[in-house]
Every structure is written in structure tokens, then in C-alpha cells.
Structure 1
Amino acid sequence: MSDARDIRGLRLSLPATSANLGPGFDTVGLALSMRLTIDARAAAAFQIEATGRDAALCGALEHNLILDTYRDVLQRVGGRELPLHLKLHNEIPLGMGCGSSAAALLAGVALADHFGVLHLGDEEIVAEASRREGHPDNVAACWYGGFTVSAQDGELVKTASFGVEVDKTGGWELLLAIQPTSLATKQARALLPESYSKADAIFNVQRAALLVAAFAQGRLELLKTAMQDRMHQPYRAEACPLLERLLPLMEEPEVAGVALSGAGPSVLVFLAEGTTVLEAETRIQGLVGPNVELLPLRIGVGVERTLL
């Protein structure tokens, strides 16, 4: 058996993600330019050095989603559990609808794959993390980057990805509005109804199809219609007050689209062509007040893996 020191370290860089984007509930995801970066090496005991957002939470050894996933994956396959030293830098807000759990789950599975020498492929890693997440939208976007469309079929996850390097959407500018308090995904899902009317189902199917076309063709002007939703945003609005304040911006020429980011409570704003970030920040800050953080973003690339 190889000594732990024989296994090279691994650097992982995973993006934040925004799922749903209006009508694409549990289906579409978008990688964002904020990232979680981890330098992992085999060690004598588990240790985490964390910097960035929510460093205290990210650096805790107990109830740590990355380490818990790493251990669980290896235990399930009977693999060797090497203690790890993680040097972690986090830019992703936790509990804000920005895919922090998807990034952590994928990190845990990828670390188990590398240090357990499991030889998992991309599809297996995404499927494993999706099963743990309960839906594939954030997971697929985090791993593959750009804009993704995913469907879970039993144990399989089928994904189509529109990478930012091969389409016209890489230059689209975004603003993420983050309120001071978080919202648990489980709580946000509990707000949704068990069934929908035929009219609402048709409304969302039309707009979800148009949303895919808008990203595939790089047509920013389609988002005003393509990001409309009747399946989750209306039911989550009370728990996500920023949505009610910012959704009317869809009617203004300076804004291309507005949507709840994931399950909320953050709101993602797509800027129209010709609108500067400063102009948008000034307009939005006037609507939401000084306690709301505004982050300028772009569409992000997927996971990056480098041997150390």
C-alpha cells in the first residue's frame, strides 16, 4: 500500500452558481465568477485553514460538508480515508442561494476520488453530488461552468452545457444583491405548492425553452420574457424581500433580467447592453438601501483541478 506522502496534493477551484433563473426550476444553472478554492494534501490529522467569507464556518472540522462528504464517499466504497490538510479560500456567500452546498459537495466527492484513487469520471462525480444535493442544477453548473441544463433520470444526470468560452454570454455583466440574513433551501422549498394550474405550467415551459435559446444564442434581449416565472418566485417572495423590490426593474431598459438566485434570498440582476455597473449599483442601492451588499459578477467557468 502506498504511503500517504506518495499521493500528490490537489488544488480545486469551484464556482458559485445561480439556479432556476426564473422559470428553470431545478433544471437550469449558471456558474458565477465567485469561487471556492481548496489546496488539499494528505496529512497526519484533519486540519482546515480557512480565509474569505464565513471563514469560521468553513474552517470548522465538525459538521463540515466538504469533509463529511469526503468521508462518506470513501466509507461507502470501502476506500482508505486519508486525513487531509485543507487550505481553503471562500468567496461564496453561505445560505444565500449561490450554490455553496453544491460546491462543497463536489469538493468532497472530488477529494474522495483523488485521495481514494477511485477513478471516477465527470459524470459519476456530478451524479454522486447531485444525489446528495437532491437536484442537479447547481451541481452541473458548478462542475461544467457556463449555463447548464440538467435532468435527473434515476441514478443518472444528463447535462447540456453552454460554456462561456464558446458562446456570446461570457461578456454579460451581472449584479448580485445579497441581504444580511440567509434562507435555508429546505425552508424555501417548504413554501412551494404541491401542484400548479395548467396555465402556469404552460407559462413556465414556454419561458424555460426561451431561456435556453437566449443563452445558446447569446441573446440578452430575450431575458425580459425568458426569466418570468410562476412556479417558485411568487411563493418565495415573502421570505425574499429583495425580489419584490427588484423584480420591477425588468420593465426598465437598463436591466435585461431579474431573478431569484437559486432558492434565494439573493437576487441576480442581468444588466442590459450599454448599462455600466456603477449606473446599476446606484439605481439598485436606491431601491434596497445601504444594508444590502451588491457584488458585480460575470458568468464563470467550471471546476479547475491542479496537482500540487
Structure 2
Amino acid sequence: MNMFTITIPASSANIGPGFDSAGIALSRYLSLHVTKQETWEFVHHSSHLPFVSHYEDHFIYHAAKQIAEVYNHVLPPCKVEVDSEIPLARGLGSSASAVIAGIELANQLCSLSLTLEQKLNHATVLEGHPDNAAPIIFGGFLITANTGDGEIDYFEMPPLDLDVVLYIPDFKMSTETARNLLPASFSRKNATTASGISNMMIAAFVSGDYLLAGRMMEKDLFHEPYRAELIPNYDEIKVEAKKLGAYGTVISGAGSAMISFVPKGQGNQIAAQMKAMLPQYDIAPLKIDHHGLQVSHCEKPLRMTAE
């Protein structure tokens, strides 16, 4: 094996009240084209990727090295060409995508034959929680729970008959900053109400009642009320998207991007109309990616598109 390509989707976590538990894979991608050679080299082909002066400082290399060491392996040197459609610090799982890229890089280079569940467990250790990692690895819409016993439980939602519209401002928000906005604890009453809203949203998605799911998305009590004031045009995006037919609009992950769930086939139209209102935004109609992490052994880089 001298050449292969790793393709990893973006993700959006929380989906409103599914805080640190719910996540979907999206049709924007991070890709690594890997060729074995005598020395390590990382080459970036995207403005979304940060400058790194030395391969040992590269986030993906660091994750790969950690996984290789768990299994008592040494990474063989490679040239890694990296391309990305995932902007940093916008709530689109850029960190989780890079972590999983590193895990899979080690898996391929060291012939570890990791299962999907092992990859999820490793990603959760490196990331801290599985809400972005699970959809990136499996594709689709997943609910996860880290119950503290060393295993990650997950549930794959049935395929959703809808599109999504993504609103990306020219404004970064670190996960740490977003977390610091949240209260340290909730009263029993508020926690019970918030949990009920989350349960209702998941049940509505499973049953295909997207109108109910959309209403529940927008009633979150866990994080959106505390983060909304730092999200540009938060109220305007929600109101205008609803007028155009969106089921629900929420903060994507920790922000600063937002995401709408819209009727199937209407993503392009709604995105175009929202773009006219918010020309300063990168507004993209996307699909839910159902492939997840992909590896191709080929001569040229491949980019997957969601069906």
C-alpha cells in the first residue's frame, strides 16, 4: 500500500436540545491524499487549513502518532496532501474531522484493522465527547451516549427526508469560549424540561414528524439561550428561514455557523433567498452525508458527495 485517500465529512452537533449527544454528517469534506516516502511532509491545498511549520506540530500527525503508540507502532513517513472545505471554529466539527483523519492515518499506515467502534472510542478520548465523531465515522444522523463505563453507545437514526442549509459568517468562535458561556448547573425543573424537549425532538425525527422536530429544535434550554447573543444575526436567520419553509434553525455545534433543516428539494431555493438577505455570509445548501469516513486506494484524490 503506497497511496491512499481518506475522506471525512464535516458535522453539526447538538441540533438544538441534543446537547453533546446528537450530530449529523454534512456534505463538506476534509481529504488526505497519502503517499509513502522517505520523510514526513504535509502539503495544504485549502485556505481553511492553518499554517504549520513542522510536521510534528501538525494536529493530524499528532493524533496519528498517539494512536500508533497505543498499539506500539511507529508511523512510517509519508507525504500527506490535505484539502478541506470545512472552515475552522465555526461549529462544523473541524477538530473532530482532523482527529479522525489522524486515527485513520495511523490505522492505514500501521495496518491496525480498527473497527468503527474502536475508532469512535479513540476519537471520544481525544475529543472529549462523541457527538461530532460518531456521524463523521458512520455517516448520517446519530445519537450518542458516553455512560462512563468505557464504551460509547450510539443509535443511528433512520435516513431523514430533508435537506439542510448552512449559514457561515466570517466570525470564529472557539469551543472553549462557547462552553464558558454555559451555566455550571441547572435546577431540577429546568433540567427536566430541557430533557423532555430533547426526547420529543428525537422521537419526532424518528417518526418523520419534521414540523414537530423543528419546533423542538428551537426550544433548546441547554445551550442556545446562553450562546445566542454572540451569534451574528441569530434571530434574523431563524425568523427568515422559518418564513421560507424551514422546519427549524439552530446553532451548528458551538457556533458561529447556524443550520436549518428544510424540506427535501428546497435547499437550493431557500439558500438563494437567504443569501440575498445576508450577502456577507457563506450560505450553502447541503445534504446529510450517509457515507461517513471513507478510504480509497487510488492514484488520485477522491472527494465523496452525499447521496
The alignment's TM-score, normalised by the length of structure 1, stands at: 0.88
Q: Report what 2:305 is aligned to.
A: none
Q: Within 1, Cα distance between the matches of 2:53 and 2:45?
A: 8
* 1:88 and 2:79 correspond: no
Over 3 Å counting, the alpha-carbon distance change for 1:267 and 1:184 in structure 2 is same
Q: Within 2, Cα distance between the matches of 1:300 and 1:57?
A: 28
SS of residue matched to 1:271: strand
Q: Structure 2, unaligned stretches of length 5 or more?
A: 299-307
Q: Within 2, Cα distance between the matches of 1:15 and 1:187?
A: 24
Aligned amino acid, residue 217 of structure 1: S
Let me know the Cα RMSD of the aligned residues: 2.2
* 1:242 and 2:233 correspond: yes
Q: How many residues align?
A: 295
Q: Within 1, Cα distance between the matches of 2:61 and 2:200?
A: 39
The alignment's TM-score, normalised by the length of structure 2, stands at: 0.88
Aligned amino acid, residue 96 of structure 2: A
**Alpha-carbon deviation of 1:272?**
3.8
* 1:306 and 2:296 correspond: yes
* Pick aligned residue for 1:158 from 153, 159, 162: 153
**Alpha-carbon deviation of 1:197?**
2.5
CA contact (8 A) 2:267 2:286 kept: no
Q: Structure 1, unaligned stretches of length 5 or more?
A: 1-6
Q: Within 2, Cα distance between the matches of 1:200 and 1:42?
A: 54
Q: Report what 2:207 is aligned to.
A: 217
SS of residue matched to 2:75: coil
Q: Report what 2:223 is aligned to.
A: 232
Q: Within 1, Cα distance between the matches of 2:264 and 2:162?
A: 8
Q: Within 1, Cα distance between the matches of 2:83 and 2:242?
A: 38
Structure 2 counterparts to residues 134-149 of structure 1, below 5 A: 134-149=128-143
- Of the structure 1 ranges 70-79 and 245-254, higher mean CA displacement relative to structure 2 is found in 245-254
**Alpha-carbon deviation of 1:162?**
2.5
SS of residue matched to 2:45: strand
The sequence identity of aligned pairs, in percent, is 29
SS of residue matched to 2:200: helix
CA contact (8 A) 2:130 2:144 kept: yes
**Alpha-carbon deviation of 1:201?**
1.7
Aligned amino acid, residue 259 of structure 1: V
**Alpha-carbon deviation of 1:99?**
0.5
SS of residue matched to 1:291: coil
* 1:203 and 2:198 correspond: no
Q: Report what 1:10 is aligned to.
A: 4
* Pick aligned residue for 1:31 from 9, 25, 32: 25
Aligned amino acid, residue 198 of structure 1: R
* 1:291 and 2:280 correspond: yes
